Amino acid sequence: MPRAALIGGGVIGGGWAARFLLNGWDVAIFDPDPEAERKIAEVLANARASLPALSDTPMPAEGRLRYAASIADAVAGADYIQESVSERLDLKHRVYAEIQAAVPEIPLGSSTSGYRPSQLQEGARNPGAILVAHPFNPVYLLPLVEVVPSPASDTAAIERAKAVLVALGMFPLHVRKEIDAHIADRFLEAVWREALWLVKDGIATTEEIDEAIRMGFGLRWGQMGLFETYRIAGGEAGMRHFLAQFGPALAWPWTKLMDVPEFDDELVELIAGQSDAQSGQLSIRELERIRDANLVGFLRVLKERNWGAGRVLLEHDARLREAAPDPTPEPTPETAAPMVMARMQVLPGWIDYNGHMTESRYLFASSETTDAFLRHIGAGMDYVAAGHSYYTAETHIMHLGEAKLGDRLTGSVQVLGADEKRLHVFIRIERDGQAVATLEQMLLHVDMEAGRACPAAPEVLARLMPIAEAHAALARPPAAGRHVGQRKT
Amino acid sequence: MPRAALIGGGVIGGGWAARFLLNGWDVAIFDPDPEAERKIAEVLANARASLPALSDTPMPAEGRLRYAASIADAVAGADYIQESVSERLDLKHRVYAEIQAAVPEIPLGSSTSGYRPSQLQEGARNPGAILVAHPFNPVYLLPLVEVVPSPASDTAAIERAKAVLVALGMFPLHVRKEIDAHIADRFLEAVWREALWLVKDGIATTEEIDEAIRMGFGLRWGQMGLFETYRIAGGEAGMRHFLAQFGPALAWPWTKLMDVPEFDDELVELIAGQSDAQSGQLSIRELERIRDANLVGFLRVLKERNWGAGRVLLEHDARLREAAPDPTPEPTPETAAPMVMARMQVLPGWIDYNGHMTESRYLFASSETTDAFLRHIGAGMDYVAAGHSYYTAETHIMHLGEAKLGDRLTGSVQVLGADEKRLHVFIRIERDGQAVATLEQMLLHVDMEAGRACPAAPEVLARLMPIAEAHAALARPPAAGRHVGQRKT
């Protein structure tokens, strides 16, 4: 079992601990803060609840975590060392002296946001083992780690460190020339300084600034970066067109960062050439479609969580639904017929790589239909919130056709039987009047707290029973009562 | 039917056209470019393939698109006008003069990235109707639109414009004080200038810069912005702690933007107070969990698409799978047992408002299990791509328990019977060895083009039949052969 030593256990050190442990490494951690153990346990709890959800293959057994009594104790026997102490150079130098007094040859990564590796290496016993390995919070989820060597760094140590980081599921970005704040934090610092001005000058509040980021370009940057995004923005003419269009803006006061590089042909060619090498194997149209599919995915994630841009989408749906005609006609015993309770359209998220509606979406469409019926008889969300609900006990599905993207479907309910506790229904999912699936279901009325069946409320039964009586006149569907594999009769 | 007039039909104008049309507006567009019609048709095709995927309610019928012969022709009868011509002030002024000669009272939004509304209004017949409505590419997907009035803007026109944008599913961010480049583009410009330096100085290529963004902070910014993210990074001590920690960095050369605001107590209190108002209703732990759930969602989206950070995850899975023992040993009559084919965790998108796994997700979990089994016997995606597939004909589900958020589930397969054309399986979805649902399914082997059942390929049957023979020794599950509502025996 490989072993990591972690020096410093704050938000970043705790995140490293989680990355290593959940990927099967044993971890020894040293942090003199008396609260360290509690804080790291909390980061670990977050990581255990999220990192495994990224994996579609069983993760290795979690490693063992040990709180070491000293730096020497922590690094004994370590295969890799990561330092995440406060951003003070003298402190880091003292920590490295202690580490390298014990294990001078082991690769030693620093989580520093800003120091260059040659600054970190000053006065070290073995400068070659020291490099920057700068992660991003939350360390257990974000793949980026900037690996920055100095000319004094040992190539073998760098390669060993990168192999360790890859084994943790990370993306080591090898920064070829050292520079203050590496690469990513230079952007973060530029944005931060601009943001401070906007707040100080009263242009925008912190909330307005955050909305300006997460409702727009933030969504783009999670899947493509600055240059690939702008390559697309250039349209068919690509990067050179974009550069020609926005080059002049460099001279304008669009930010307080006015110390700009000379925007000459040489720079245009350098950027356009690098962009071709990076993205030129895909056409602008292909890049657009990839970008759009990614954005749709991100937006749907946020919609499921009612957060950020997802909240905007949910509110838009609610407005559209209010403007649409009511799909639920009032039934009467005289007009007994299966009741159309839902009208749906096959959405892109419902189809598989073959363009067919995925199997589980037929049950989803049926649930939408049943839910609408339950709302209709007064057993909707308010009823559930008060502690009672109809639970599905058993379902039988006949797959009779294939729905495709954009198809409009209706879901209808025929009540096969009902009593105080039970509701037996037959659902037809139809396209143009032809069933693509039928579903037979038995639902039980449940007291949710007690966890057992109980009679439905009188006002619900008063809505349900007349429908059940009216539907008793309907022909029983041949598929009702069928078991899987039964010969057709 | 409301009508929009669009002046200028490039990438941005085309995006506006798509937003309006797909939300049921009629659109008249004027653009003298002879290629405009083709270009807009391409943007529309992208939008039709993506925007409806965000909606869970039927969208209104698409509006009609008309190419107008002149500006006056385009704006006649319009309820709202959006200008997206090139970023030249004299050109915009000429366009506004033509528009307002015809319809001076209609709200007129400009897509300008940089001009202030008071610059746009100079010399206009009705300055009050003119405002900035700055969208983000792709306009049909990203919700942000910066609405910037000047002191001369008419309040009623601003409110009408905002109502139009909300009706398009957008998020109008009202920028209270005009400033060059509004809010979001100030950040984009700062990052852009910093990026140009990094490329010019040979520190990083365009590709390395893009990776530094999309593998790290870009993912954070799609769901929380700068300040909320940093509030979390401050840990339990929150925003004031973060500010104290990173305040000194303002004096350091972490970016070429060195004209920084004075970082005094007043600024700290202003920011910390605004951050409390923005995010203070949630604890740091709650914010962490929300952030993590969002990031997991984003990362899974990218993983499904094998793109960006998702590619890193897929490669990590492949390494883990290679290192792990095979979870699907080939059964023999001596070792016959249901085969565990899938390990899953109940994700946030799988649960309903009650915190229970939604009904259709049990079938989803079963499909995942069956798909893994089909891959195991050589009938995976390649086989399907070659024209054959197993289709589910019939399913019976017993709901036996309730799975909750975060539960770890396994899906196992027991083959009840198989011949050349048919595959009869029993799936158990279990938590801690207890079934939460069982599913009995009949699958038919299908020639997809002919649309009829046919024998499976010999190499598939060679994998399948020994398993079926081994499983014949297993006890038949009591739920097999059951029909809905059958009394327990």
pLDDT at A174 over 80: yes
Query: Rounded to an integer, what distance in angstroms lies between the CA atom of residue A384 and that of residue A364?
Result: 19
Sign of the dihedral through C-alpha B20, B22, B26, B30: positive
Main-chain dihedrals φ then ψ at residue B224, nearest 5 degrees: -135, 155
Name which of A106, A66, A113, A67 is nearest A92 in CA terms: A113
CB < 8 Å to B483, chain A: 396, 481-483
Residue B15 near residue B54 (C-beta atoms within 8 A): no
Say whether residue A268 is in contact with chain B using an 8 A CB cutoff.
no
Q: How near does any CA of chain B get to the CA of A104, in Å?
A: 29
Residue B474 near residue B338 (C-beta atoms within 8 A): yes
In the three-class reduction of DSSP (H, G, I as helix; E, B as strand; rest coil), residue A477 is classed as coil
Residue B46 near residue B169 (C-beta atoms within 8 A): no
Contacts of A356 (CB under 8 A, 6+ apart): A402, A403, A404
Say whether residue A163 is in contact with chain B using an 8 A CB cutoff.
no
Q: How near does any CA of chain B get to the CA of A56, in Å?
A: 7
Distance between start and end Cα atoms, chain B: 62
A156-168 mean pLDDT: 96
Query: Rounded to an integer, what distance in angstroms lies between the CA atom of residue B50 and that of residue B56?
Result: 13
B93-105 mean pLDDT: 98
Whether B170 and A312 lie within 8 Å, measured CB to CB: yes
Q: Determine the residue of chain B that is closest to A263 in CA distance.
A: B196
Main-chain dihedrals φ then ψ at residue A220, nearest 5 degrees: -65, -40
Q: What is the mean pLDDT of chain A?
A: 90
What is the structure's pLDDT at B320?
A: 82
Reported as a pLDDT band with limits 50, 70 and 90, residue B441 is very high
Neighbouring C-beta atoms of residue B135, cutoff 10 Å: 24
CB < 8 Å to A223, chain B: 214, 218, 302, 307-308
Name which of B90, B124, B94, B95 is nearest B30 in CA terms: B95
Sign of the dihedral through C-alpha A29, A31, A37, A38: negative
Whether B39 and A137 lie within 8 Å, measured CB to CB: no
Q: Two tokens at B340?
A: 């565990």
When comparing pLDDT for B104 and A268, which is higher?
B104
Q: Which CATH number fits domain A3-182: 1.10.760.10, 3.10.20.10, 3.40.50.720, 1.20.140.10?
A: 3.40.50.720
String of DSSP letters for A306-344: T-THHHHHHHHHHHHHHHSPP--PPP-GGG---EEEEEE
CB < 8 Å to A391, chain B: 399
What is the structure's pLDDT at A326?
A: 56
pLDDT tens digits, one per residue of A58-68: 678 899 999 99
Say whether residue B476 is in contact with chain A using an 8 A CB cutoff.
no
Residues above pLDDT 90, as percent of chain B: 65
Q: Choose among A181, A271, A360: nearest Cβ to B363.
A: A360
Sign of the dihedral through C-alpha B357, B359, B361, B367: positive
Helical axes A238-246 vs A265-279, angle rounded to 10°: 140
Looking at chain B from residue 309 to 348, which residues have their Cβ under 8 Å from any Cβ of chain A? 309, 312-313, 316-317, 319-321, 323-324, 327, 343, 345, 347-348
pLDDT tens digits, one per residue of B25-59: 999 999 999 999 999 999 999 999 889 888 877 78
CATH dotted code for A333-471: 3.10.129.10
Q: How near does any CA of chain B get to the CA of A102, in Å?
A: 31
CATH architecture of B332-471: Roll (3.10)
pLDDT tens digits, one per residue of B216-240: 999 999 999 999 988 888 776 777 7
Neighbouring C-beta atoms of residue A315, cutoff 10 Å: 14
pLDDT at A324 over 80: no
Query: Rounded to an integer, what distance in angstroms lies between the CA atom of residue A413 and that of residue B294?
Result: 36
Q: Choose among A220, A259, A345: nearest Cβ to B58.
A: A345
Lowest mean pLDDT among A376-385, B148-157, B176-185: A376-385
Query: Rounded to an integer, what distance in angstroms lies between the CA atom of residue B143 and that of residue B165?
Result: 9
Whether B141 and A226 lie within 8 Å, measured CB to CB: no
Q: Two tokens at B13?
A: 């104008």
CB < 8 Å to B297, chain A: 298, 301-302, 304-305
Whether A138 and B288 lie within 8 Å, measured CB to CB: yes
Q: Determine the residue of chain A that is closest to B245 in CA distance.
A: A87
Q: Determine the residue of chain B that is closest to A11 in CA distance.
A: B235
What is the structure's pLDDT at B20?
A: 98
CATH architecture of B3-174: 3-Layer(aba) Sandwich (3.40)
Say whether residue A112 is in contact with chain B using an 8 A CB cutoff.
no
Whether A144 and B52 lie within 8 Å, measured CB to CB: no
Whether B297 and A301 lie within 8 Å, measured CB to CB: yes
Q: How near does any CA of chain A get to the CA of B334, in Å?
A: 26
pLDDT at B243 over 90: no
pLDDT at A75 over 70: yes
Looking at chain A from residue 9 to 28, which residues have their Cβ under 8 Å from any Cβ of chain B? 10-11
Residue B230 near residue B249 (C-beta atoms within 8 A): no
A268-272 mean pLDDT: 83
Residue A303 near residue A314 (C-beta atoms within 8 A): yes
CB < 8 Å to B349, chain A: 301, 304
Q: Choose among A11, A46, A270: nearest Cβ to B199.
A: A270
Whether B194 and A176 lie within 8 Å, measured CB to CB: no
Say whether residue B64 is in contact with chain A using an 8 A CB cutoff.
no
